[in-house]
Amino acid sequence: MPLLSLLLWVPLLGAVALTLLPSETRGQTYRTLAAIVIAIALGVSLAIARLFDPSNAAPQLIEVIPWLEPLGLSYRLSVDGLSLPLLVLNNFLTLIALLATSVHLPRPRLYYPLVLLLNAGVSGAFLADNLLLFFLFYELELIPLYLLIAIWGGARRSYAATKFLIYTALSGVLLLAGFLGLVWLADAPSFDFDPQLSTLLPLSSQVILLGLILVGFGIKIPLVPFHTWLPDAHVEASTPISVLLAGVLLKLGTYGLVRFGVQLFPQAWQVLAPLLATWAVVSVLYGSLMAIAQTDMKKMVAYSSIGHMGFVLLATATATPLSILAAIAQMMSHGLISALLFLLVGVVYEKTGSRNIEVLRGLLNPERGLPLIGSLMIVGVMASGGIPGMVGFVAEFLIFRSSFLTFPVQTLLCMVGTGLTAVYFLLLVNRVFFGRLPNELTDLPPVAWGDRLPSLILATLILMLGIAPNWLIHWSKTTVDLLTPTVVTLPTL
């Protein structure tokens, strides 16, 4: 059975089916059906994980269908230790996002198919074993995400969605230029993924092409100074879309760094690695300092994402098997933690009507506040701050442990960023959740179990993976050997 294709076609066909439902169908029905579709996709991804052989570093379960051969485009899918965890994460977080979506959402007939389309696009990008096919999926997910922000976003949704579209479209253009350049300059017969391709080129060409790709993915991750679209997009996006944006969409950028940077340009990567490590430091420190300066909880979490994605860049720059393993762990860890934080901020906003940390206070009040939400927020910020026993610690420790020998100064500076995480999240927790509940907030509506459930599931997973991190990384242990460049004598530029 073509399981990999099922990951694409189940949500795609589900999206089509939902649009065909009668217009009077209730929002609850749309949500349930969409959740069933994604639950099937999640089941398929877990079945793939069961069939996956972790001891085999090579791509597995390959599916190939010739498509536009003159163009070099083929429908070529595969899965390895890098893409498998991200596939599971994508389907899992999409399900969480659906559970967190209000049944009273307007225009459900459009919303849910777009979420399914987004899911399919992201899965396709993670599965694509052809550069052009990756690019198609990469572009495909832009459209639903743009619409999801532009239609169901906040007051400045149009501005935020347009900015997101411009930035990420530019990112796509740069990637396409990089891919085209690589294939044409290397005179390759097709766009099929081939790690040896770039070694046929002079190093200077490799560096230029890698530079294009780095900036392209740098926008998507996002790295400073290409980050400005992200806080706006997060602030304006609805909670479930923020979950997907932070939890999954940003991972496309870091996935691209490993797959199309480290693996596709191993020689050029070694040249640019010190620069990238320094870039990571800038991103980490800038993101963290900006987070400290925020008064909007959602913006704070968004800037925190920028900082934490910098850790992934540091590990990727190091490009050792352990550091790539660390990068994968951090992608997963950040996906879960940021999703939890955005969910909780969403509940706080829904119940209090504010995300301003200068207004909110005392929400841990056991009877009149949001005590469980506050408690989960403490779990989330502890995980984000890298407290042992949680998944964040595992990922960050792996990153620092693996990067220190190669980039000691940059690693130490990034560790300062971890300290800053504690600063801004303690500010948030202290201001918003401790102290006396203001009189204006003593009549908050209660939080239903439906609102609590997605956060509880995420928090449980964050703790479980913190205690048993092997569940997180054992898929990738062998693959990372294949992903990392062997130390070679570089040709002269």
Partner 1 sequence: MTLLRPTLTSHSPELRTVILERLLRGQALLPDTPTHVMEVVGILKSYGVVLKAYAENLCDISERQFLVLFPFFKYFNGEITIPKLLRHWWHDRINYEYAEYCMRAMMWHGGGGLDAFLDSAEFRQLAGKAIAAKLRGNPLMQLLNQLFPEFLLETVRMLCYYSGLGQFWTVMYPIFLTLSDRYDAGEIRSIPDVVDHIRAGLIAEAHRPITYSVKIHGQTYDILPPSANLTFLADTAIPYIEAVFLRGTPFFGLVSFNAQAQQISREQAEFSYGALFADPIPTGAAGIPPTLLMQDMRHYLPPYLLEFYRRHGRGEGDLRVKICQTFQKSMFCVTTAAITALAPYPWTTTDPQEQAANRAFYETWLDRLETSRLWSVQMGN
What long-range pairs does 406-410 form, CB within 8 A, spacing at least 24? 406/273, 406/277, 406/318, 406/320, 406/323, 407/274, 407/277, 407/314, 407/317, 407/318, 410/277, 410/278, 410/280, 410/281, 410/314
Which residues 6+ apart lie within 8 Å of 103 measured at CB? 26, 27, 28, 31
436 binds partner 1 (CB under 8 A): yes
443 binds partner 1 (CB under 8 A): yes
How many angstroms from the chain centroid is the CA of residue 190? 29
* From 23, 439, 486, 492, residue interacting with partner 1 (rule: CB under 8 A): 439
195 binds partner 1 (CB under 8 A): no
Residue 60 bridge partners (DSSP): 79
Cβ atoms of 286 and 358 within 8 Å: the answer is no
C-alpha Rg value of the chain to the nearest Å: 22
Pick 259 or 361: Cβ nearer partner 1: 361
Pick 69 or 350: Cβ nearer partner 1: 350
Pick 24 or 443: Cβ nearer partner 1: 443
Pick 252 or 372: Cβ nearer partner 1: 372
Q: How far is the CB of 440 from partner 1 (least distance, A)?
A: 11
42 binds partner 1 (CB under 8 A): no
Q: Number of C-alpha atoms within 13 angstroms, CB side, residue 416?
A: 14
Angle 276-281-282 from CA coordinates, rounded to 5°: 95
Identify residue 167 by its one-letter amino acid code.
Y
Pick 22 or 445: Cβ nearer partner 1: 445
Cβ atoms of 253 and 221 within 8 Å: the answer is yes
* From 186, 291, 327, 437, residue interacting with partner 1 (rule: CB under 8 A): 437
Residue 76 bridge partners (DSSP): 64
* From 22, 50, 366, 487, residue interacting with partner 1 (rule: CB under 8 A): 366
Residue pointed to by tokens 């301003």? 356
Identify residue 155 by its one-letter amino acid code.
A
Cβ atoms of 254 and 309 within 8 Å: the answer is yes
Q: How far is the CB of 457 from partner 1 (least distance, A)?
A: 22
Pick 22 or 446: Cβ nearer partner 1: 446
Binding mask 326-365 for partner 1 (x = CB under 8 A): --------------------------------------xx
Q: How far is the CB of 444 from partner 1 (least distance, A)?
A: 8
Pick 368 or 477: Cβ nearer partner 1: 368
Pick 228 or 442: Cβ nearer partner 1: 442
435 binds partner 1 (CB under 8 A): yes
Among 89-97, 208-216, 421-429, 436-444, the segment contacting partner 1 (CB under 8 A): 436-444
448 binds partner 1 (CB under 8 A): no
- Binding residues (CB under 8 A) for partner 1: these are 364-368, 435-439, 442-443, 445-446
